Structures are given as structure tokens and as C-alpha cells.
Amino acid sequence: MEFTASQIAAFINGKIIGDENTTITGVSPIESGEHNHLSFIAQERFADHIYNTKCSVLIVSEKLLTKDSYPVTIIAVEDAYLSFQVLMNLYMEMQGRKTGIEQGAVFHETSVVGENVYVGAFTCVSEKVKIGDGSQIYPHVYIGKNVKIGKNCILYSGVRVYDYCVIGDNCVVHSNTVIGSDGFGFQPTKDGYQKIPQLGNVVLEDNVEIGSNCSIDRGTIGSTVIGKGTKIDNLIQIAHNVKIGENNVIAAQAGIAGSTVIGDWNQIGGQVGIVGHINIGNQVKIQAQSGVNSNTKDGEILYGSPAINAGEYRRNYVHFRNFTEIVKRINNLENNSKDNPNE
Amino acid sequence: MEFTASQIAAFINGKIIGDENTTITGVSPIESGEHNHLSFIAQERFADHIYNTKCSVLIVSEKLLTKDSYPVTIIAVEDAYLSFQVLMNLYMEMQGRKTGIEQGAVFHETSVVGENVYVGAFTCVSEKVKIGDGSQIYPHVYIGKNVKIGKNCILYSGVRVYDYCVIGDNCVVHSNTVIGSDGFGFQPTKDGYQKIPQLGNVVLEDNVEIGSNCSIDRGTIGSTVIGKGTKIDNLIQIAHNVKIGENNVIAAQAGIAGSTVIGDWNQIGGQVGIVGHINIGNQVKIQAQSGVNSNTKDGEILYGSPAINAGEYRRNYVHFRNFTEIVKRINNLENNSKDNPNE
Amino acid sequence: MEFTASQIAAFINGKIIGDENTTITGVSPIESGEHNHLSFIAQERFADHIYNTKCSVLIVSEKLLTKDSYPVTIIAVEDAYLSFQVLMNLYMEMQGRKTGIEQGAVFHETSVVGENVYVGAFTCVSEKVKIGDGSQIYPHVYIGKNVKIGKNCILYSGVRVYDYCVIGDNCVVHSNTVIGSDGFGFQPTKDGYQKIPQLGNVVLEDNVEIGSNCSIDRGTIGSTVIGKGTKIDNLIQIAHNVKIGENNVIAAQAGIAGSTVIGDWNQIGGQVGIVGHINIGNQVKIQAQSGVNSNTKDGEILYGSPAINAGEYRRNYVHFRNFTEIVKRINNLENNSKDNPNE
């Protein structure tokens, strides 16, 4: 990419201070700017970078600007963070979407592929699969039989979708995530564990994004469901028959055990574990590494393993940190008590 | 699939109450039944669903039935749960197994493939590999040189098996699991870490099932072994030279460090960590998220990080939850002690 | 492989005690030796194996040898452990490296591939990719556009490298690891989460090794960096814009959240979580399962969640284990206090 300061200013309705013909060829974080790169400053604490950045153009919030000239070309806007986001989204759109079927992709004759779809080399599309308009399926993806994929989805290289799973519109699934592997269901017998057939599927509703290397197991019977707009990070385990509502964010390496039901707008931290067969309400925040083993109400903030109220956990943990001191105090009390002639 | 109530009743020796010609085309969990679907009721607490289910046919345990007619077609059996399992297993068998070599699969000329084997598109079978009769290898699987795979195994799409690993009969490995990657062995030198060659392999004994996205590392020298009938969930780490016995179940995201030895019939919870070079006995239960750092005896139940007796952990955790209150009591005792004129 | 004792002794400058023509065809751990195998004894506590091993040849440290003859062919060296390592490294080198382009690999016409490179079947090399001399790319690897891979790297089957990522010389990446998936960045709006474009990349410096099934996310803008000589185990999460220095070792299933900066020569245990936006110094040791939520200084040893000084954590945990007993002592003190007539 190559843009001039005036082109960029036009996109975001900004005012140029400096040379409008300065060109940029990339973007940098403000802390590690590079020549011919663009960056932005939206907060007072980064304002000094205006004077020492190696970047060639900076988008800066107006409130941080007081002079008539600067050593770097400035684009003044109301909120530099938002304007930078707008720009990055525009840039992503300008990249365009991939289309066309690459040589080496294989399709069962009964599969149905929409308009403007991209299917990469060596991707396998099984019988009765439907792929909606505008979806992009990268190389090396496996799509099992009767899978439905909606419109404008992106499945990156190495994604596996087992038979009968359903993916809504505008979903993104990153590389090597597995959708629809068998739930972990075995019945003990005296000779060993006998497999319980896993006949359900996985349903991703619209606007779901799933990171790389996740495992979303199919329902034993019925569906494992990830609700509309929920975003899932990397290396996450979602067990069979879990139902997750809308607009949740789940951080990396969290795991949710079988049949648990999760509401809307929850924030689940990294490496959190949630046991099976419980209910998590709405707008719950679960701190990283917590282990949740009972139902939670709306708005709770949880921490610890097993998880309790986060404030309570932190207060108790302060005492835990002083435990050696606390035991000394008890020793002293006991010694005093022994010295006490009244006893 | 499409079956009549009378066909289903015949499979499981059930008695029909209602219309024997009712047809079903799928199965549902009882809580979210659908028209033309089959479900089951084996427990009192679900018995009300007989009167409000949308399912068309229900398999119900006899003891829950008292009337002559119901609003839904009933198949009465002694144990509805077991009968339903029998039916689901039958259904799985009726699906048949895949056979044949798909176009695009590549085989080294020295590889040996048994009878009735399925090998999917773009799967690579390296030199001297042996694949036993009836095994099903899905698309995009990589099988390194000298690997032996037994009879009636299923390797789903994206499984990687490094050189020299051995898989027994009737094993199932889900998508994107890696068998035989290098053990994590490096020797510190003043210039950096030097790799210790990892020359061993992985051995899966018969009837092992491994979920998706697991990493089972090869032995440094000798083998990493997963014993007969052991079932492993998703996203699990098994390090180099670990030896796991028979009929263990290991839940998602657990990790077992190098050279640890695990007996038989253990239950290891989700996100559990077990350090290297220790021994876990038999019939041990390890609660989710525990960290086991010392040898355990047969039958122990463990919890916590580091893990201790689970009952003990829970009792102590109750006090932890009251820690702020406990410290107040100590403060009071100290204040009383100061007020005490005897001191 | 097949070697005689005298060939092996020549490689490591050892002195044979016994039959120099004994042949070996493999290696075993000393605890489970096999006929015609080689093993080694470097420590007193394994010395008894000299008399009962099934191995045919043993490399033994001189200090453990006192007799003129043994029931097994011995190769005496100064340090048996080091000599065995030398031998294993020699053996690895003798295996040679793979070269050549396998049928089914696809290359964009603008990609540039060095000398003596191996590219396996069904690997996809996108536009403007550069692969350095001597690198080995196994089957089913996906390499996005503008990716640079240095010299003498190994990428095992199923590795995914997203657009614009950079891999240095002598790097090893194990199967199904994903390099450059999107950072987990979403902005909440009242209608749901809006994706923040992830425009950066991942940079692996020279001599980095990464295990299987890891996720290394690209920077939002700028790079996620893994420094020279750092070794990463399996199933590890490295979030966007993390900067890791040189010669760190990170054990399996650890996770490092966004923008955290890590120095050199740190040891990070299995299942450790490190929050975002903090600094970890140098030569820090973090015990398995710890949760680090604040900056650490050089040389600290940490344990717990949240992590504190490891010695302190262990001492406090001893009290936690006795908590029920401690509460009884407080009860007693309170009872005594009540009995005290002075109150």
C-alpha cells in the first residue's frame, strides 16, 4: 500500500498540519514507529511521541495539539483512536476478498456453492454441503457431509467441520480449529469404557468468530450452540451440548464442560474452567484461571478455583499471603494464654 | 433416516402404546424435542415431558408408565436409557463404514494397506507404513515413515502421525491431533539451549480414543505409551516418555509432564496438570484444575494446586472463604488480650 | 541402523570392555533395555543395570566401572550422558535431511525457493513467499503471502503461517501450530462486538523451536516477536503484540496475554497464565499453573494464582493445608477467653 497524507485525511475528515504529500507505506505502533509509516496518538501519555517518532504521518486527537507546526506531518481529528480504526477497516476492505476455486479443491457432485465464493487448494467439500455467497474457504479445509455454511464466512486453512454442523452468516473460524468432533461420552463397564454414540451437531449462529486450534464438540443428541456475535479466542474447549448465548467473549485456553448453559454478554477470562451441567447468567465476569463449579447470577464477578466473588477472593488472598505472620500471631496468643495465671 | 415406531420397537423389544406407524426422522434431547423426532425418558424427573413433548415417539421406562394411552406414541421398555443406547449404536452401525481410496491420496510404494480400508483425499502415507484391515483414514492425514496402524481404526481429517509411531486396533483419533511430535528436551549452554534428539516414538495400545487438537510427544528414547482402552478428551498434552495404563479417562486440557507413570482406571479432570517423573496409582480421581506434584496411592481423591486430599482441600477452602472473618476474630483476641490486666 | 561396538566407540573416543563386534540396531532407556540395543549409565543409582540389562552394549561413565569384565559389552567414557548425546546427534545427522519438491505441492509463480529445499505434497506456497536454503517444509503446510522463511528451518505437517509473517534461520515448528492468526481484539458496541482489524505479523527470530498445536497471534499493528533461541512446548497461546526475548523456555499449555514483554533466559512452567500489558524480567522462574498478574523483577521465583514469591507461597500453603486445625486453635483461644473471669 502507498497513500499520501491528503488521501488519508480525506478518508477520515482530518485536517493536515504539515506536508500533505508525505507518503506512507505501512503502519506502526507508536512505541516503535518506522520511517514512511503511519501511527496515531489518542492519549496524553503518548503525546511526547509527536516530537521523537520515526513515523512520517501521525493521526492525533485535536485536544493534544496546541502548536502550528510539528516535526512530523499531523492529521488532526476529534478522536484519533476511532479514526485510526475507521482507516484500518477501510484498508481491510480495500484488500478485497478472495474469490474463485483453486486447482486441487474437490467437491462432491451434490454440494452447492454460492456466488463469489473462494475455495482454496486441497479443500474437501463433501456430499450435500452448502456454502453461501461470498464465503472464503482457505486451502486444506475439510467440510463433512450435510454441513451448511452461511454467507460471507471465512474458514482459514486447516479448519475441520464434521458432518451435519451448521455455520451461520459472517462467521470467521481460524486455522486448525475443529468443529463437531465427538463429545467425550463413555460408559464404564467392567471390561472398559464403551463409547456413547455422538449423533448431534454444532451450530454457530451469525457473526461468531472462533480463534485457532479450538475444539467445539458435537452434541450427543441435539446441538452444541454458539450464539450470535459471540467471540472465542484460541485453544478453547467447548464440550458437547454446551449452549452459549449472544455476544460473549471467551479468552484463550478456557474450557466449558458438557451441557452447561451460558447467557449473553459474559466475559470469560483465559484458562478459566467451567464444570458441566450448570447455568451462567448474563454479564458475568470470570477472572482468568478461575474454576466455576456452580450456577451464577447475572452480573457476578468471580475469581478463584473454586470461584467465589472476586472482591472476596482478593481480600482473602491478601490474608493467605500473610498466613505465616497470622500463624505467628496465633502462637503468641496461645503463649500469652498459657502464661495467663487465670487458666 | 426414517423409521416407524414398530421398526424401532422391534430393535429393542419394546411394547408400543399408540400408533405403530408413527414415523421418525431424527432424534432430540427430551428438553428440546422436535416433531417427527424420537427421544427417551428414563428418570422420574423428566416424566412430565410425556405430556408436553413435541417429539412423535418416546422410549419410556415401564416403571414411569401408568396409563393406557398417551398424547404421544410410546415404546415401553425396561430401561429406556439402555434401550436408547442400543438403538443409537445400531444406528451408527447402519451408517456403515467408509471404504475405498479417494483420488488425491498418495502412498509410498513400500506402504502396505489392508482390506476394506478408507483413505481420503490428500492423505499422505509414507514409506513402510502399514494400515490394518477396515481402518478409515480421512482426508489430509499425514502418516510418517514406518508407522503401524492396526485394524478398524479411525483417524479423522488433519491427524499427524510422526515417523515410527504405533497405533493398535480399534483406535479413534480426532481431527488435528498430533502423535509423535518431539519431546521438549533442551540442554542449557551458555550460548543458548541445545536440542536433545528425540529418537523414541508413541505407542497407542488397542481401543484408545483421543480427541481433537491433542499433542502426544514421542519418547526421547523409548516410547510414550497410552494403554489399552484409555480415553483422552481434547486439547491434552502428553509429554515424552509418559506411560499411561489401561482404562483411564482424561478430561479436556489436562497436561502430563515427562516420564510420569499412570496406572489403570484413573479419572483425571479437565485442566489438571501432573508434573514429570512421578507415579499415579490406580483408581485415583483428580478434580479439575488440580496440580499434582507428588506420587499418589491407589484410590486417592485429589484437589488443589498443589493437590491434596479433596475432602481436606474443600474443608480448608471453606475457611479460606471466611479468612477475613477469621482475621477479625484474631484481632479481637489480641485486643482482649491487651485489655487483660494480667499482662 | 546397525552399528558395531567398535564403530560406536570410535565416534565417542570410548574404550571397549568386551566384544567389539557386538552389533546394535536401536537404543533403549536403561530401565527397559532390549536385546541388540544400546543404552547408557551415567549415574550411580542406575549402575546395577550393568548386571541385569537386556541391552547388548552400554556406554558407562568410567567412575562407575571397577572390574575387568562384565556380562555386557561396555564402552567406557568420561561422561556417559554427554557421549550418548553426541552419539544421538550424530545419528540424527546421519538420517540426512529431506530434499526435493514432492508432487502435489503448489507454488505461486512469484514465490522464491532456495537450494536444497524440501517441500512436501499438498503444501501451498503463496505469492511472494521466500523459503531459504536447506529448509524442509512437510506436507499439508499453508504459507500465506509475503511470508519469509529463513535457512535450515523445519515446518512439520499441518503448520499454518498467515500472510506477512517472518521466520528466521534454523527454526523448527511442529505439526498443526498456527503462526499469525488474528489477535483477539473486539470493540464492544451496543449491538455486539466489532472486530478490530489485525494488521501486524509474527516474527520468529533465529533458532526458535515451537511445539505442536500452538497459537501465535499476529500483532494488531506491529509484530508479535519470539526472540532468538527461545523454545516453546505444545498447546501454548501467545497473544497479539507479545514480545518474548532470547533463550526462554516455555512449557506446555502456558498462555501469555496481549502486549506483555518478556526478557531473556526465563523458565515458564506448564499451564502458567500471564496477563497482558506487563513486564517479565530476566531469569525469572514461574512454577506450573501460576497466574502472573504484575511486573516481575530479574531472578524472581513465582508460584500461585495470583503468583507470589514461590517460597512464601509454599510456606503459606502448608498453613492452608492445616487450616481446619488452625481454626480449632482459634476456637480454643476464644473459649478460653470467655472462661477468663477478667473479661
DSSP string, A23-56: EE-EE--GGG--TTEEEEE-SGGGTTHHHH---S
Query: Which of A278, A312, A233 minimizes the C-alpha distance to A303?
Result: A312
Query: Cα Rg for chain C, rounded, in angstroms?
Result: 27
Element (H, E) at B6: helix B5-12
**Alpha helices (runs of H) in chain A, residue ranges in sequence order:** 5-12, 49-52, 80-94, 310-321, 323-339
Band of pLDDT at residue A93, cut at 50, 70 and 90: confident
Chains in touch with C (≥3 Cβ pairs < 8 A): A, B
Q: Would you say residue A129 has pLDDT above 80?
A: yes
Chain C residues close to B197, C-beta within 8 Å: 85, 88-89, 91-92
Closest residue in chain C to residue B309, using alpha carbons only: C321
Nearest to B305 among C212, C289, C340 (CB): C289
Region at A342 (left for phi over 0; alpha for psi -120 to 50; beta for the rest): alpha
Reading the block at residue C80, the C-alpha cell is: 556417559
Q: Identify the closest residue of chain A to B324 by CA–CA distance.
A: A316
Residue in chain A lying closest to B81 (CA): A196
- Asked if A321 and C308 come within 8 Å (Cβ–Cβ), the reply is yes
Name residues of chain C where pLDDT drops below 70. Answer: 1, 339-343
Q: C244: distance to nearest CA of chain B, Å?
A: 15
Q: What is the pLDDT of residue C337?
A: 81
**DSSP 8-state symbol, A323:** H
Chain B residues within an 8 Å CB radius of C157: 124, 142, 160
| Residue C293 to residue C276: CA distance in whole angstroms | 8
Q: Report C:213-232 residues touching B (Cβ under 8 A).
A: 213, 228-229, 231
Q: What is the pLDDT of residue A340?
A: 60
pLDDT at A285 exceeding the cut of 60: yes
A176–C160 CB contact, under 8 Å: yes
State the DSSP code for B168: -
Contact B289 A275 (CB under 8 A): no
Q: Express each pLDDT in A19-33 by its tens digit.
A: 999 999 988 889 889
What is the C-alpha to C-alpha distance for residues A68 and A17, in angstroms, rounded to an integer? 7
Whether residue C270 and residue B257 make contact (CB cut-off 8 A), yes or no, is yes
Q: How distant is the Cα of A157 from the closest Cα of chain C, in angstroms?
A: 7
Which chains are adjacent to chain B, needing at least 3 Cβ pairs under 8 Å? A, C
A27 contacts C221? CB cut-off 8 A: yes
- What single-letter DSSP state applies at residue A325? H
Closest CA to B295 of C176, A257, B132, B306: B306
- Cis peptide leading into residue B71 (ω within 30°): no
**Rounded CA separation B212/B232 (Å):** 9
Q: How many CB pairs under 8 A join A and C?
A: 176
CA–CA min distance A124, chain B (Å):
8
How many Å apart are CA C316 and CA B63, to the nearest integer?
A: 54
Contacts of A174 in chain C (CB under 8 A): 178, 181-182
Q: Which three cell numbers stand for residue C86?
A: 553426541
Q: Determine contact: C25 vs chain B, CB below 8 A.
A: no
| Neighbour count for residue C71 (Cβ, 10 Å) | 10
DSSP-derived secondary structure for C261-295: EE-SS-EE-TT-EE-SS-EE-SS-EE-TT-EE-S-
C123 CB neighbours in chain A (<8 A) are none
Which residues in chain C are closer than 8 Å to B181, comparing Cβ atoms?
Answer: 156, 174-175, 211-212, 234
For residue A235, give the nearest of B29, B157, B235 by CB distance: B235
pLDDT one digit per residue (tens) for chain B, 343 residues: 689 999 999 999 999 999 999 999 988 889 889 999 999 999 999 999 999 999 999 999 999 999 999 999 999 999 999 999 999 988 888 888 899 999 999 999 999 999 999 999 999 999 999 999 999 999 999 999 999 999 999 999 999 999 999 999 999 999 999 999 999 999 999 999 999 999 999 999 999 999 999 999 999 999 999 999 999 999 999 999 999 999 999 999 999 999 999 999 999 999 999 999 999 999 999 999 999 999 999 999 999 999 999 999 999 999 999 999 999 999 999 998 876 655 4
Q: What is the DSSP string of B246-315?
A: SS-EE-TT-EE-TT-EE-SS-EE-TT-EE-SS-EE-SS-EE-TT-EE-S-B-TT-EEETTTTEEHHHHHH
Distance from CA of C101 to the nearest CA of A (A): 17
Helix H or strand E encompassing B320 = helix B310-321
> Do the beta carbons of residue C123 and residue C155 sit within 8 Å?
no
Q: In terms of CA atoms, which chain B residue is nearest residue C174?
A: B181
Cβ pair B192, B178 in contact under 8 A:
no
Contact (Cβ atoms closer than 8 angstroms) between residue A277 and residue A258: yes
3-class state of residue A313 by DSSP? helix
What would the pLDDT profile of A159-188 be if each residue is shown by its tens digit? 999 999 999 999 999 999 999 999 999 999
Q: Which residues pair with C26 in a beta bridge?
A: C37
The catalytic residue positions of A are 240
Contacts of A318 (CB under 8 A, 6+ apart): none
CB pairs under 8 A between B and C: 175
Interface of A with C in 139-198 (CB under 8 A): 139-140, 156-158, 172, 174-176
What is the spatial distance between Cα C83 and Cα C49, in angstroms, rounded to a whole number?
18
The 10 Å Cβ neighbour count of residue A72 is 21
Phi-psi region of C333 (alpha: psi -120 to 50; beta: other; left: phi over 0): alpha
Q: Chain C 98-137, CB below 8 Å of chain B: which residues?
A: 103-104, 120-122
Of B89, B249, B327, the CB nearest to A193: B249
Chain A: give the shortest CA distance to residue B27, in Å. Answer: 7
Is residue A159 within 8 Å of A179, Cβ to Cβ?
Answer: yes
A219, three cell numbers: 452434541
Chain A nearest-CA residue for B158? A158
Report the 10 Å Cβ neighbour count for B32: 15
- Whole-angstrom Cα distance, residue A180 to residue A215? 8
CA-nearest of C280, C267, C276 to C232 is C267
The dihedral through the CA atoms of A268, A205, A125, B35 has a sign that is positive
B82 at the A interface (CB within 8 A)?
no
Does ipTM surpass 0.90 in this model?
A: yes
In the numeric block, which cell numbers belong to residue A316?
A: 482473602
CB A228 within 8 A of CB A247: yes
Contact call for B213 and A214, based on CB within 8 A: yes
- Give me the active site residues of C, please: 240
Mean pLDDT of the A306-319 span = 96
Which phi and psi (to 5°) does residue A90 adopt? Answer: -60, -45
Chain C residues lying within 8 Å of A330, measured CB to CB: 326, 329-330, 333
Helix (H), strand (E) counts: chain C: 5, 40
Helix, coil or strand: residue B244: strand
* Helix spans in chain C (H): 5-12, 49-52, 80-94, 310-321, 323-339
Average pLDDT over residues A316-333: 94
Label residue A341 by pLDDT band (50, 70, 90): low
Q: What gap in Å lies between CA B98 and CA B136, rounded to an integer?
A: 7
Calculate the CA A159 to chain-centre distance.
16
Which strand (E) or helix (H) includes residue B329?
helix B323-339
State the Cα–Cα distance between residues B278 and B300, nearest whole angstrom. 15
Distance between CA atoms of residues A129 and A147, nearest Å: 5
Question: Is the CB of C184 less than 8 angstroms away from the CB of A85?
Answer: no
Q: What per-residue confidence (pLDDT) applies to B304? A: 96
Q: DSSP 3-state assignment of C309?
A: strand
Tell me which chain C residue has its CA closest to the CA of residue B342: C342
Would you state the pLDDT for residue B340? Answer: 60
- Find chain C residues with C-beta within 8 A of B241's C-beta: 29
Could A321 and C341 be called an inter-chain contact, meaning their C-beta atoms sit closer than 8 Å?
no
Chain B, 272 to 311: residues with Cβ < 8 Å from chain C are 273, 275, 289, 291, 293, 305-306, 308
Cα–Cα dist A271/C291, whole Å: 10
| pLDDT for the residue B56 | 95
Radius of gyration over every alpha carbon of chain B, rounded to an integer in angstroms? 27
Please indicate whether, in this complex, the C-beta atoms of B182 and C175 are within 8 angstroms of each other.
no
- Residues B57/B61/B62/B63 CA torsion (nearest 10 deg): -140
Enumerate residues 6+ apart whose C-beta is below 8 A from C245: C227, C230, C262, C263, C264, C266, C282
What average pLDDT score do residues A303-329 get?
96
CA angle C82, C84, C87 (to 5 degrees): 110
| Cell numbers given for B234 | 481434547
DSSP state of B55: -
- Over chain A, what is the mean pLDDT? 95
Cell numbers at residue C31, please? Answer: 530401565
Distance from CA of C43 to the nearest CA of B (A): 16
Interface test with C, best of B178, B335, B338 (most C CBs within 10 A): B178
Distance CA A259, CA A318 (A): 35
Residue C297, min C-alpha distance to chain A (Å): 19
Indicate yes or no: CB of C221 within 8 angstroms of CB of A29: yes
Structure confidence at residue B181 (pLDDT): 98
Q: How many residues does chain A have?
A: 343
Q: Return the pLDDT at C343.
A: 43
Question: Is residue A343 pLDDT above 50, yes or no?
Answer: no
Q: Give how far B152 is from chain C: nearest CA, Å.
A: 24
Q: Which of A33, A38, A27 is nearest to A5 (CA)?
A: A38
* Rounded Cα distance, B178 and C332, in Å: 57
Q: Is the predicted pLDDT of residue A342 greater than 70, yes or no? A: no
Average pLDDT over residues A271-290: 98
